[in-house]
A and B are shown apart, each in its own frame.
Chain A
Amino acid sequence: MAIQNTNSLDKTFHALGDESRRKILAMISQKQRCTAGELVKLFSFSQPTVSRHLKVLENAGLVTRHIEGRHHVFALGVNGLKEADGWINRHLVYWENSLDRLGQFLDSDEK
């Protein structure tokens, strides 16, 4: 079975497409750093569920993992968000500018 997110942007959108993962991400963002154990206590998820969600978020570059003794500490990773931002910002700028040009074209066509 080949389920592969070959495109890194796909990984980001896949990771952000799950409500539980968005909640985990928001909590890590709010607390700045969180251990897997803390996340288990904060949400009604089991340890394996939290681990699985964290793995997806980590693969997408949305969180980073540091091992401190026996604890795995997670923090917000900016790479994944930058990937998504890249596509969105490019098209936002694209449309803002081309629609300005559409306005100029319509006005000039009037003359």
Chain B
Amino acid sequence: MSAINNKIEPIVIERIYKHPVKKVFDAFSHKAAFEQWVAPSNEINTNILIHEFKIGGQYRIEFTVPEVGTLFLAGEYVHIERHKQICFTWVWEKPDIHAGINSLVTADFLDHGEYTRLIITHENLSMLQVVERHTQGWNGALRRLDNFLIKLSNKQD
């Protein structure tokens, strides 16, 4: 049962770096530094096309993967608390197999003096989108039912 439940739990990864929190935070906030490590492999060429590091700012990254092609990842910075937390949306662009799945990444930086504990939480927002779509669907249906009943009542009058 727990294995099934885990399917909808966020991904949480924790790392400890023997560097002060400012340096680890700057590796996210500075475009040149971010570009150095954000790809998951040295073989992937990374080009950060947009990097507006502010709340509401956009980012867009081009990854050139050998024998696969070019992939684009984009999102928006939804929360920034200097040296503490960065929260950003994460969406692969078409034609990626996971294109359009809206997800949210939160990076928490815990200051331990000479070292930093970094916690990455990556949540898939599909479930929330489904709930929202259903709500919209029901609201639409109920509006139509409402209109239908009004028309019916007018006819009877």
A interface residues, Cβ below 8 angstroms from B: 1-5, 7, 9-10, 12-14, 16-17, 22, 25-26, 29, 81, 84-88, 90-99, 101-106, 109-110
Asked if B15 and A99 sit within 8 Å, CB to CB, the answer is yes
Does B27 interact with chain A (Cβ within 8 Å)?
yes
A104 to B124, CA, bound (A): 28
Asked if A101 and B7 sit within 8 Å, CB to CB, the answer is no
Residues in A with CB closer than 8 Å to B98 are 9, 86-87, 90
A47 to B19, CA, bound (A): 60
Of all A-B residue pairs in the complex, the 4 with the closest CB atoms, nearest first, are: A97-B40, A3-B137, A101-B37, A1-B141
Name the CB-closest residue of B to A89: B11
Q: Interface majority SS on A: helix, strand, loop or mixed?
A: helix
Asked if A10 and B126 sit within 8 Å, CB to CB, the answer is yes
B interface residues, Cβ below 8 angstroms from A: 1, 4-5, 7-8, 11, 13, 15, 17, 19, 23-24, 27, 33, 36-42, 97-98, 100-101, 103, 118, 120, 122, 124, 126-127, 129-131, 133-134, 137-138, 140-141, 144
- Say how far A74's CB is from chain B's closest CB, in angstroms: 15
- Say how far A64's CB is from chain B's closest CB, in angstroms: 16
Asked if A95 and B13 sit within 8 Å, CB to CB, the answer is yes
Asked if A1 and B126 sit within 8 Å, CB to CB, the answer is no
- Say how far B72's CB is from chain A's closest CB, in angstroms: 15
Known: A17-B127, A84-B7. A1 touches B137 (CB 8 A): yes
A2 to B43, CA, bound (A): 44
